[in-house]
Amino acid sequence: MQYTEEPETVIKGDPRQMLGGFIRMQRQMANLSLRQLSALTEISNPYLSQVERGLHEPSIRVLKSIADALNVSAEMLFEQAGLITSPDKLGDDATESAIRADSRLSEAQRHALLGVYRSYVETNRDKA
């Protein structure tokens, strides 16, 4: 899939633009067009475009819908939006990002592996 979107100039420290850039990166890693993400989330294409460009601050419902469609944890998007902070952020994000970026896996395999990984993490959290 070829992307023709122009790179946005990010204002350093602007949380809306940083969140939008993160969402765009995750969407591109999932090989989804903006239109496909719109269909999966049932959120309008123009609104998603504005979120990616940092022009809107999405609601929790919108972030959850985007997270589900991109197969990322909602907590990760909440962190990117500055809504929560996580002490073990590095380990979770790095592992999930590596799984999503591994081109040797099919999309179905990535989805399954992320599900298994998250279930193990949750089980271990419950024991701690």
pLDDT digit string, tens, across residues 62-94: 999 999 999 888 888 888 777 776 555 555 577
Q: Which residues have a Cβ under 8 Å from the Cβ of 6 and sit 6 or more positions away?
A: none
Q: What interhelical angle do 45-52 and 15-29 show, nearest 10?
A: 120
pTM of the complete model:
0.59
Residue identified by tokens 């294409």 is 45
pLDDT digit string, tens, across residues 28-46: 988 999 999 999 999 999 9
Q: Per CATH, the architecture of 1-85 is what?
A: Orthogonal Bundle (1.10)
| Domain ranges, ordered by start, for the chain | 1-85, 86-128
Q: Largest alpha-carbon pair distance within the chain?
A: 47
